[in-house]
Amino acid sequence: MHKQTFSLLLIAALTTSCAATGRSDKAASVLADLNIAVQKEDCDQASAALARLDGSATDPQRISQAYLAASHACIVASDFIQAGEHAEAFLAEFPSHPSSDYAAYLSVMSRFLHWRAETQSDRGLADAETIKQGRALLSSLSQFRSAYARSPYIKNMIPVARATREIVAGSELRLAKAAISGGNFEAAALRARYIQSHYANTQAAAQAQDLLGALESTD
């Protein structure tokens, strides 16, 4: 769903929830601020509004929509940590909610986008850490597919899984090449075969095949 369309749907849901209560209370004012933050795609403002909601005095429907709205605003604003925190808070408080699949989707997407940004930053992540976090992310993607088999967001996970596999396989390949540079040809061969076995159909898998061919020619 287009981000602007979804933003408008969240705003409409929050506004409807406020009108349904027929009350002009603090929660309604806070949710009005949240509406503005979502329209502006302002993560900090949305998060601040969410923090001001009093759960004991607010309709649960408002709270649930507020979590999703804040998470959405943050992910669009590229604040992936806060986006994930809001999505996880939703899941903790409303595990059986009809929109739990969307919250889980936001959570996984936030993790993926944050991890990918870290791997592409100037500092980057060490290959071993990239692999560790990438494998955990692939496990989360698999769990999402199992838990929400009928979710419309399943299809959105396909390119995420593909991109994750490519990044992890690339790190595996760099470690294999580093092993060659260090004279540890057996370790390099093992890692190259691991890439072929677990990350077939990635760019690194084709290079791993070439690496194995080069190693075998030196025997």
pLDDT for position 9: 42
The domain segmentation of the chain, as residue ranges, is 1-97
pTM of the predicted model, to two decimals? 0.84
Q: What is the pLDDT of residue 61?
A: 83
- CB-side neighbour CA atoms (13 Å) of 170: 14
- Residue 152 pLDDT: 96
CA angle 61, 66, 69 (to 5 degrees): 125
Q: How high is the pLDDT of residue 23? A: 44
What is residue 112's predicted lDDT score, i.e. its pLDDT? 98
> Residue 82 and residue 73: Cα distance in Å, rounded?
10
Are the CB atoms for 40 and 74 separated by under 8 Å? no
Best CA proximity match to 15, nearest among 41, 36, 45: 36
Series of mean pLDDT values for 10-residue runs along the chain (219 residues):
44 45 63 90 93 72 89 95 97 94 97 96 92 98 96 96 97 96 94 96 94 83
Distances, alpha carbon 134 to alpha carbons 94, 124, 157, 167, in Å: 27, 14, 14, 8
**pLDDT given for residue 157 in this prediction:** 95
